[in-house]
Structure 1
Amino acid sequence: MDRLNRPEINQKLVVTDLLLIVTGSFLSAVAFNSLLIPNQLLSGGLGGVAVLFHYLSGWRTSVIYFVLNIPIFLLGMRYIGRRFITYSLVGAISFAVLLAVTRIFPAPIDDPLLGGILGGFLHGLGAGIVFRARGSPGGIDVIAVGIKKWRGYSLGQVTLAFNVLLMIIFGMIFNLTLAAYTLISMYITTRVIDAMETGLDEARSVTIVSAKADLISRLIIDQVHRGVTYLEGAGAYSGEHRQIILCVVNPTELPNLKDIVFRADNQAFIIVADVREVVGRGFKVEPFEY
């Protein structure tokens, strides 16, 4: 049996992914309760909305976050892939539960700027772990995936628009100083997540050398939903003819792609290169000039 289809390996990968999602959710929950909330700061996404409602109403952030996610997941189940929605549901529930559990943790820093810097780093570390496990903490990530499929906007565009609106509301209700500290924290969170996804650019060129090029190509097309190009090649020493796979993916898709390749062929050879710009289907599209 091909090792890709062995149920015990797939089950082990699922368990590992779920443990990573819970671990990342724990780190993010600690960042919220010990660093961000004690210093009257927000995070981005739906977590930031939950914290804002907490400041205004006094209700628990964990309860607000869980309630806000309910309609999002009910809609997401109709339009988004099963694995992503399942992993995101695990992320959202574990984050909400751990937000409640970590409320007893101490708040060691009484300084909004330093709290924002450390909180942004820790939250980015937690979210990055969740994303590397091919999940999400729910909320805006589920919304962004749905809007991407519905209207074609990128995940980054949706998230940026949401967070800008959130910061405007936060600055108007509280004060611009706290909003500025929150922006610094959110920037650090974003950079840490990007770094954990193996780079800071918007795309990666991936070259794959494998004796199972046909199998890997089908898996990339079916599971990553990216196009694949074959290049003709031959080993200089052996003279053996090989089909070389070339594809371009987003940084967030790279962990999943590498996982697919090495599960199909643990002897595969992968080269990942930064791409300065990608124009075309699935990436940035240049406006047509009439």
Structure 2
Amino acid sequence: MRKDLPNTVEHTPLDDVQGLGIGIFLCGIGVHVLTSAGLITGQTAGVAVIISYLSGWPFGAVFFIVNLPFYVLAYRRLGAEFTFKSLLSVTLLSGITSLLPMGWTVGEMAPGVAAVVFGTTTGIGLLAMFRHNGSLGGLGVVALIVQDSTGFKAGYVQLLVDAVIFAIGFLLFPPQVILWSLLGAVVLNLTIAFNHRRDRYIAT
């Protein structure tokens, strides 16, 4: 990096719209592949997927409701802009995951391939959202707060939380489903851990 260049990048409203839009869409694709393969994931989305499978309720509606308590924490610790963008992002993702199955039926896919597609696509989508001061709320908010407060990477925080969720999943689903799902969560969180560095990318 050249020392004479500024270390901040000013995002315009258009930058934020396209960045968040692309991130949300990529996350929607990842979740659609995941649920089509009958796999689960971690974080708040994982909780929503499990409830959706067990109850038959649509993932989008469950995901929106599960996220509601975390907006208070986001507002207090990360500010109004971050909270608004997160609320908007969760709402849009809930809509996208409801609409995608109407226009795209995922064909036969090996569970390992589905796990990797989910992990990489959703990881890249989340990175795009983080870089435009947004998130999908929930436990991701907690992970960002921990990283900013302690330096312990958000991806590793999420990986620890996922371990707890998957331990519970072993009680509810066949072992092979959980093992393939765990692969997807590892790919997702390592994508974030290796690439989400505020000292490399600082935007306002």
Q: Give 1:29 deviation, angstroms.
A: 0.8
The letter of the residue matching 2:200 is L
1:106-255 alignment, distance < 5 Å: 106-146=105-145, 154=152, 155-156=154-155, 158-194=157-193, 196-197=195-196, 251-255=197-201
> Paired residue for 2:21?
22
Distance 1:81 1:161 in 2: 25
Aligned counterpart in structure 1 of residue 86 of structure 2, from 79, 88, 99: 88
> Paired residue for 1:44?
42
Say if 1:21 and 1:90, in contact at 8 Å, map to a contact too: no
Q: Give 1:81 deviation, angstroms.
A: 2.2
> Paired residue for 2:52?
54
Distance 2:56 2:151 in 1: 35
SS class of match (1:47): helix
- TM-score w.r.t. structure 1 length? 0.60
- The sequence identity of aligned pairs, in percent, is 23
Distance 1:192 1:136 in 2: 15
User: Where do 5+ consecutive residues of structure 2 fail to align?
Assistant: 1-5
Deviations 1:72-125 (A, max 9, x none): 113432333233223322322222221122132211233212211222222222
Deviations 1:114-161 (A, max 9, x none): 211222222222222212223212111123345678x96844554233
Aligned counterpart in structure 2 of residue 76 of structure 1, from 69, 74, 79: 74
Deviations 1:158-191 (A, max 9, x none): 4233211110111111022111111111122223
SS class of match (1:254): coil
Distance 1:168 1:183 in 2: 10
Structure with the largest fraction of strand: 1
Say if 1:20 and 1:130, in contact at 8 Å, map to a contact too: yes
> Paired residue for 1:248?
none
CA separation of 1:173/1:252 partners in 2, compared to 1, >3 Å: closer, same or farther?
A: farther
Deviations 1:198-226 (A, max 9, x none): xxxxxxxxxxxxxxxxxxxxxxxxxxxxx
CA separation of 1:153/1:163 partners in 2, compared to 1, >3 Å: closer, same or farther?
A: farther
Say if 2:156 and 2:189, in contact at 8 Å, map to a contact too: no
Say if 2:156 and 2:193, in contact at 8 Å, map to a contact too: no
Distance 2:128 2:151 in 1: 25
Say if 2:23 and 2:125, in contact at 8 Å, map to a contact too: yes
The letter of the residue matching 1:37 is T
Q: CA RMSD in A?
A: 2.7
Structure with the largest fraction of helix: 2
| Structure ranking higher on relative contact order (CA contacts 8 Å, 6+ apart) | 2
Deviations 1:229-263 (A, max 9, x none): xxxxxxxxxxxxxxxxxxxxxx145322xx46xxx
1:277-288 alignment, distance < 5 Å: none
Say if 1:131 and 1:252, in contact at 8 Å, map to a contact too: no
The letter of the residue matching 2:29 is V
CA separation of 1:146/1:176 partners in 2, compared to 1, >3 Å: closer, same or farther?
A: same
Say if 1:53 and 1:64, in contact at 8 Å, map to a contact too: yes
Say if 1:167 and 1:179, in contact at 8 Å, map to a contact too: yes
Distance 2:43 2:17 in 1: 21
Distance 2:25 2:135 in 1: 13
Distance 1:141 1:193 in 2: 11
Say yes or no: does 1:67 pair with 2:65: yes
Say if 1:121 and 1:188, in contact at 8 Å, map to a contact too: yes
User: Where do 5+ consecutive residues of structure 1 fail to align?
Assistant: 198-250, 261-290
Say if 1:80 and 1:145, in contact at 8 Å, map to a contact too: no
Say if 1:18 and 1:90, in contact at 8 Å, map to a contact too: no
